[in-house]
Homo-oligomer: A and B are copies of this chain.
């Protein structure tokens, strides 16, 4: 009896949520690199990340989580993105030159370490709950961190040079992957970024690409209007 063994690389399992901007980052990278993934939605707004099944997978009770084909459980979007870059180096997300790599990583972290953590669902819940903040105070909070944070990003982009199609060159990379979801969040929270010309220009270039468009929250299977 003859049989044919087809060896296919198993797809990584990806736990995310349509509106989570760190999940959104990973989706863009998967699309840019053409990496298939097996998606499991975790309903953040309903608190599914706190249920035992998920909390065992990630004691931080945060998204995203990626389980590699060999079963390693990876948390934190930037770590997942670096893993993707190392395991799927085709369509690189980082430049080759070391100082340029540091500039791109630094820009990504200006979002991932300085803006996004302050607008996280659990932080906003803490403001409204234990701290008793009203809508005005929450809005002021969001405008402060997202507004000032993206204004700093605008300055970093202008410093890098504005004659390129994307943040740091003519191909999209880690910086663009972090910028687009953050701008999506800014718009969702009503933060005015009309004055940030370079940020908007780069986002428009990104969103013209299928890899970015297909990663948009509204295009996800778990999307809720």
Contact = CB atoms under 8 A, between A and B. Distances in A.
A185 to B, nearest CB: 15
Contacts of A59: 151-152, 155-156, 159
Per assembly, the copies of the chain total 2
Contact of A79 (B79, B109, B117): B109
Contact of A123 (B83, B105, B110, B118): B118
Interface in A102-158: 102-103, 105-106, 108-110, 112-114, 116-118, 123, 126-127, 130-131, 133, 137, 140-141, 144, 149, 151-152, 155-156
Contact of A131 (B62, B79, B141): B141
A207 to B, nearest CB: 25
A105 B78 contact: yes
Contacts of A116: 113
Given A82-B105, A83-B101, A76 B113 contact: yes
Interface stretch (A31-39, A67-75, A217-225): A67-75
A21 to B, nearest CB: 12
A93 interface: no
A74 B103 contact: yes
A79 B62 contact: no
A53 to B, nearest CB: 15
Nearest to A71: B99
B79 A102 contact: yes
A26 B127 CA distance: 32
Interface in A74-89: 74-76, 78-80, 82-83, 86-87
A60 interface: yes
B118 A102 contact: no
A59 B61 CA distance: 32
Given A74-B106, A130-B144, 9 more contacts: A68-B99, A76-B110, A79-B109, A83-B98, A86-B101, A113-B113, A114-B117, A117-B118, A131-B133
